[in-house]
Structure 1
């Protein structure tokens, strides 16, 4: 076992798993409640979908600055604060009487995604030899959240209504505070920025230089000169659009086709089980396939799942919807692990929190756009078929920057080989 991997390491891994479980579970639960919230406030689908997408959207802003905050205070302080505010936001949603008030509550709930880059970076500082297994367990939190939370939310909704269901979800979410307390800083994590260095920076007479130094110091602006990072950032943005569209609208989509609420929730659960399968397969597949190969495979699964959904919906075929959900789940499961592994390979450990934070920020920004676009297309067409076709196109487009980077690396390697002197 590596020098880093101790009993504390596995405790940190468990806490990180639960944080990912809460993050995905909350967004998925809100998607299950979308029809009731829409009916309660007598509004359109795109309005509620956009409001729900603000949860990961605002979380994107939190994720972007979580790395900077973690350079000043302990990472677990960041996690505890975000988890507490997220639970408060869910509690406030139960008291909402207007559309504006529930939107505000869902924005506050977006703090649930803030701890993600901090937790992901914590795993990298605690694990060496078993990093692939650790990041798989971490990503499985998303899978378990997709499996458990839709059915649990549907059950709570039937018993207590959507307000009572969100109230109980608020209590469940509050356990993230305890998880944050378990993530004790390791010796490899960031040390707080010294006041002396801040004072030296403040002495600068040029305000532009001062702001540039702050941006570089706290947000690692040099990341934007790394083509591999920019390609991964593009993939995070595209998959954020695709994944959030599925999380929010897959249950309403099944309900619109005439299936019962429990059958609709089972479609989401099937996607969660497949996501768990994709996550579990990653350590095995990573032994003989590169992360880039696994990335291309995962994007193909995601794109095909959306492309075939209109075919399954035309009958409508419940088995077809289940198969599309399975393809989507396997693709997103592989993608989650692959993205974290690629960040870990391409980025220095000191910059990892900010790199993952920027990835989460792009993911969340595109989540907001997805919630609006998919709902708007449904309101205009009366069907989710066009929305899912758009999601398929986005999934394919998002991989183009990575293709460009790979082609450039291939050309450089070929040029270096041709430049070597021949032995004959």
Structure 2
């Protein structure tokens, strides 16, 4: 039976948007509740802050680092199968993690396996939005990211409730059942009919036999899925990837250490868990408004600068935690922090879609995610080491502020330099100055002293 293809921007796109919203709420926001279990895990396994920090670090790193493998699966089996596979792996990892007897077992099950499954589900939900939505893509990304806000609001409260009643092992077992709902979200994603899908394709060439031909084919496929062409020829993608890598060194620290920081200073457990929920609750209302704002065509060229400004505000806001640990002060911090986090969440993947062509987006997202996963892997253990060495949470928030501010300044200056260079190249081209251009080999340059009715001339700008 032939499969039914859905049109982009059609009615079923809104059903897919709902599925993506739920999938992102189940996966991307889950690491925010790990701080609730931090003290219990540390006490149960008799581990230090640095050793315990490796669990949320591996979970968050795999959430990003599974991008290339997810890109291959999406290209081979589609977003539907990849999302359902991610739901199964996430559930399996949490169920197995509830029976862990050592931290190593916890790293492997609830960290590695669950994080990999979340990566499949989360990144497939982002990719499918880019395929289903064209005209309303910024709005769709913003609405789907509401799921992250809802998850950030409910996960800490649910984690605290389950921790008090069932312990962390029982809570992980329940989480395993919750993650199976990602399979339902994947089942709602029908194949979409894009322009590439509707065009007839020539049959693929038969590969040449032999080890050399096999190695060449594997190397070509690896370069394609790792987006090497985008990395070498797209300066904006390079600046953005490096900037977000630096950002990931400090972005996730408040999500994990805010709750232990509050309880260390005598705050009740339910109030401490409520702080993260406040951030998520505010984002539920801020993200749709922000999506309508950044989705305007007049702001398309300024989205990347708005993203840099949001990161800068996010980093400077963390300095509030170094001043006081009172509940009112931290509530005010969460309110301001939620505003900057909202802008970062809306623009993170939208800016990437603006920089990279959509046909190369899955591969570019995969490389982008795995590079960011490397820095997020070392972020929390590094913060745990600083905390073990100083026994002062203020240095953790100083560390977060430093990396976020550095990232914002680097990306802002990098994007400005690229645009300035591009404008200069266009101006030189308009003035007839070809010194900054590279002639394509094999083509004859135009001789201006001789007037010819038709010339075969082509230049490729160095930009």
CA distance in 1, matches of 2:257, 2:195: 38
**Corresponding residue of 1:390:** 399
- Change in Cα spacing, 1:57 to 1:415, as seen in structure 2 (3 Å) is closer
Task: Provide the secondary structure at the position in 2 that maps to 1:303.
Answer: helix
Q: Mean alpha-carbon deviation: is it higher for 380-389 or for 19-28?
A: 19-28
Q: 2:169 aligns with which of 141, 160, 163?
A: 163
In the alignment, does 2:313 pair up with 1:307?
no
Q: How many residues align?
A: 416
Gaps of 5+ in 2: 1-5, 433-463
CA distance in 2, matches of 1:248, 1:195: 51
In the alignment, does 2:114 pair up with 1:109?
yes
Q: 2:243 aligns with which of 229, 235, 239?
A: 235
Task: Provide the secondary structure at the position in 1 that maps to 2:47.
Answer: coil
Q: Do the aligned partners of 1:85 and 1:108 also contact (CA within 8 Å) in 2?
A: yes
Q: Do the aligned partners of 2:27 and 2:118 also contact (CA within 8 Å) in 1?
A: yes
Q: Mean alpha-carbon deviation: is it higher for 163-172 or for 320-329?
A: 320-329
**Corresponding residue of 1:7:** 11
**Normalised TM-score (structure 2):** 0.83
**Corresponding residue of 2:126:** 120
1:363 deviation in Å? 3.0
**Corresponding residue of 1:91:** 95
1:207-263 alpha-carbon deviations (Å, 9 max, x no partner): 764443122333332111211111221233233332322222221111112111111
- Change in Cα spacing, 1:144 to 1:196, as seen in structure 2 (3 Å) is same
CA distance in 1, matches of 2:246, 2:209: 38
**Corresponding residue of 2:230:** 223
1:140-180 alpha-carbon deviations (Å, 9 max, x no partner): 11111111110111111111111111111111111111111
**Corresponding residue of 1:366:** 375
**Corresponding residue of 1:48:** 52
CA distance in 2, matches of 1:115, 1:201: 36
CA distance in 2, matches of 1:220, 1:414: 28
In the alignment, does 2:402 pair up with 1:412?
no
- Change in Cα spacing, 1:42 to 1:238, as seen in structure 2 (3 Å) is same
State the superposition RMSD in angstroms: 2.5
1:3-39 alpha-carbon deviations (Å, 9 max, x no partner): 6222210111111111110113421222211111111
Task: Provide the secondary structure at the position in 2 that maps to 1:33.
Answer: helix
1:312-351 alpha-carbon deviations (Å, 9 max, x no partner): 3xxx322222222233322222112212222222212211
Q: 1:30 aligns with which of 34, 57, 63?
A: 34
Gaps of 5+ in 1: none
In the alignment, does 2:403 pair up with 1:379?
no
- Change in Cα spacing, 1:198 to 1:79, as seen in structure 2 (3 Å) is farther
1:367-387 alpha-carbon deviations (Å, 9 max, x no partner): 221110111111111111111
Larger Rg: 2
Q: Mean alpha-carbon deviation: is it higher for 42-51 or for 288-297?
A: 288-297
In the alignment, does 2:260 pair up with 1:256?
no
**Corresponding residue of 1:200:** 207
- Change in Cα spacing, 1:24 to 1:339, as seen in structure 2 (3 Å) is closer
- Change in Cα spacing, 1:420 to 1:198, as seen in structure 2 (3 Å) is closer
**Corresponding residue of 1:332:** 341
**Normalised TM-score (structure 1):** 0.91
Q: Do the aligned partners of 1:278 and 1:331 also contact (CA within 8 Å) in 2?
A: no
CA distance in 1, matches of 2:123, 2:355: 15
CA distance in 2, matches of 1:421, 1:150: 60
1:420 deviation in Å? 4.4
- Change in Cα spacing, 1:257 to 1:199, as seen in structure 2 (3 Å) is farther
1:55 deviation in Å? 0.9
Q: Do the aligned partners of 1:19 and 1:116 also contact (CA within 8 Å) in 2?
A: yes
Q: Do the aligned partners of 1:276 and 1:330 also contact (CA within 8 Å) in 2?
A: no
- Change in Cα spacing, 1:93 to 1:109, as seen in structure 2 (3 Å) is same
Q: Do the aligned partners of 2:85 and 2:120 also contact (CA within 8 Å) in 1?
A: no
